Amino acid sequence: MPWRNKILLTLGVILAAIITGVIVIALTTQPSAPSLRVTDAGKSSWYAVYFTAPKNPPKESNPPDSLDAALTRFIHSARASVDVATYQLDLPGVVQALLDAKKRSAVVRVVTDQNIFNDVKQNQSLKELQKSGIPIIAGNPKAIMHNKFVIVDKQAVWMGSWNFTLNDTYRNDNNGIVIQSAELARNYTATFEKMFGDKKFGAARQPGGTTPRLTIGGSAVENYFAPEDRVAAKIVARLRQAARTIDFMAFAFTDDQIGAVVLERAKGGVVVRGVFELTGSDTAASEYGKLKNAGLDVRRDGNSFAMHHKVFIVDGKTVIFGSFNFSQSAEEENDENLLIVDDIPLAQTFTTEFARVYNLAKK
């Protein structure tokens, strides 16, 4: 073989080895499967819904992805503004994303709970934001500012049951959703301004400035804020329309009016299944005993930490969810938000989460 051919052959072998090595490196350095659960059914042109994947024992130091990473990405997408209403905050990635947003000249504002803000054991992340020049308004000292929402560029909203904490991310069952809608963002911004600008919290805040009924991506959406919108009545009205099924997951379910309509629909032939958070379910205030004694299929959750969802799924097509616990405190005193969404794929996604929680729960 001529010497030139030998050189070309050698170079070809070396090049092939280099290419093979690059492919191997690329394959072996791909991130592992995310610990949060978001399926194709949980995504649409206008939303992406996420659920925590709690582990026992929790693995806080080794999640390649989770709700905190999803929220961090959402905040990183901001170009002009980030408004945050959060009950609690201790996630380093979320804190850094807010600091980074401010550094790139986005307007960052925060509303939080006054008692949390005054608690030295819980306020370190909030104080870090404040020290950087991010304005923080804390309110509702007699109840709780219980919202957990973020508005980015007045075009999109993050909301759900999930507090922005390590505990709620890696121990508790929770949901979070990003919704791309300027109309919905206007509702949340109007309520945010009442708290941040007017310093009106709880029962001091008046209704108005929002559009309760919207159409987003072809789906009917109702959006309410507590206490000003009398949210329990809106939930009751929707549950009363149930024709086939009601599934629910409830961190706190003590509202007699909501409990009564669930019993009413069960007597009317609607199949009811529910999971209660274990803590508090054995108290006289809880609806668990009433529904159980009536023969309904209700269980107490099997998570050794907390089942923190606040969700109703009606007839497999409507989802009721948000920060709003099914309690008089949420109805009359706390700062809360809620969505009622008629969207079959979204309902199917929540039903999958319900099935997981239900199957782990105790009869």
**Residue 7 in this model has a pLDDT that exceeds 50:** no
Specify if 26 maps to a domain: no
Q: Report in angstroms the alpha-carbon separations of 232 from 11, 66, 72, 298, 309.
A: 74, 31, 32, 21, 16
Sheet containing strand 297-300, strands side by side? 213-216, 219-226, 336-342, 318-322, 310-314, 245-250, 271-276, 297-300
Q: Region 138-155: what's the mean pLDDT? A: 98
Neighbours of 358 (CB within 10 A): 19
Higher-confidence position of 310 and 38? 310
Sheet containing strand 156-160, strands side by side? 47-51, 175-180, 156-160, 148-152, 81-86, 107-113, 136-139
Active site residue 308: yes
Catalytic residue among 65, 100, 297, 315: 315
Catalytic residue among 168, 310, 335, 343: 310
Active site residue 315: yes
Tokens, residue 52: 């925590």
CATH code: domain of residue 103: 3.30.870.10
Distance CA 295, CA 355 (A): 20
- Which residue type is seen at 210? T
| Domains held by the chain: number | 2
Domain C-terminal end among 180, 204, 228? 204
Q: Report in angstroms the alpha-carbon separations of 310 from 84, 114, 182.
A: 20, 23, 25
Question: 247 and 197 share a domain?
Answer: no
**Residue 182 in this model has a pLDDT that exceeds 80:** yes
Specify if 33 maps to a domain: no
Catalytic residue among 146, 200, 292, 308: 308
To the question of pTM greater than 0.95 for the whole model, the response is no
Domain C-terminal end among 166, 183, 204? 204
Distance CA 225, CA 194 (A): 12
Specify if 15 maps to a domain: no
Active site residue 310: yes
Range of the domain at 356: 213-360
Question: 139 and 67 share a domain?
Answer: yes
Under DSSP, the state recorded for 362 is B
pLDDT tens column, 243-288: 999 999 999 999 999 999 999 999 999 999 999 999 999 999 999 9
pLDDT tens column, 94-113: 999 999 999 999 999 999 99
Question: 217 and 146 share a domain?
Answer: no
